[in-house]
Amino acid sequence: MAPMCVIGSQFIADCQMDLIVEQNSCGNLLITDINHNILLKVKPCNTSCHRQRVVLDVHDKPIVMIREKFVSGHKRWNVFRGDSKSKSDIIFSTKTFHMIQFKTSVDVFLTNKVGGKNVYDFKIKGSWSNRNCTINMGDTSGTIAQMYKMQSPTENMKFVKGNFMVTIYPGVDYAFVVTLMAIVEAMKTTHRQK
């Protein structure tokens, strides 16, 4: 598979990556490799009008801003380059077709796409509550990432309830995958708070 770059080529690894996603009660996500080297951070930065998340690099520099579309019948989220909120800086958007979901099903639309407007480029599906989701390319079975619960602890891993693992396949932009996970987590958190 050719390298798949959505957010930045610096986030593409040549080989398969296993990442640990650690969550805290404030809604922050800390993404590390299996040796606990920090790769990315996700922090809520909600306003009175918008639910938002920012994805930061290891030096706390904003990579993307995730922002829920305020009035949307499909739980739509837009992703902007850096900490921008300008329409010209939208990289991709996501939406669901059902307000209430028992299984996770989120469509991802790139802004620079050539195909039809309503044809999704990626799909997140599975069970977020069971930490069992996949991210596929379009409507194919071409999986780019797989999320799963952490198994038993090993010497290299701290085992904390609620943390989970993500396997990202070679040539895939891991910042893009982390951003998608942050959106689904924000959707589920929003649903629980209502």
Q: Taking residues 119-148, report their average pLDDT.
A: 88
Q: Does residue 31 form part of some domain?
A: yes
Q: Percent of the chain having pLDDT more than 90?
A: 54
Q: Identify the CA nearest to 80 among candidates 71, 69, 70.
A: 69
What is the Cα–Cα distance from 21 to 164, expressed in whole angstroms?
Answer: 5
Domain of 19? 15-193
**Averaged pLDDT of the chain:** 84
The phi, psi pair for 169, rounded to 5°, reads -75, 160
Q: Does any domain span residue 2?
A: no
Residue 193 pLDDT level (bands cut at 50, 70, 90): very low
Per the domain annotation, does 71 fall within a domain? yes
With 0-12 CB in 10 A as exposed, 13-18 as middle and 19+ as buried, what is 111? Answer: middle
138: left (phi over 0), alpha (psi -120 to 50) or beta: left
For CA atoms 26, 69, 113, 60, the dihedral sign is negative
On the question of pLDDT at 10 being above 80, the answer is yes
The CATH number of the domain where 169 resides is what?
2.40.160.200
Helix (H) or strand (E) holding 62: strand 62-68
SS (H, E, C) 112-152: CCCCCCCCCCEEEEEECCCCEEEEEECCCCCEEEEEEECCC
Per the structure, the count of domains in the chain is 1
Say if 7 falls within a structural domain: no
pLDDT at 39 over 50: yes
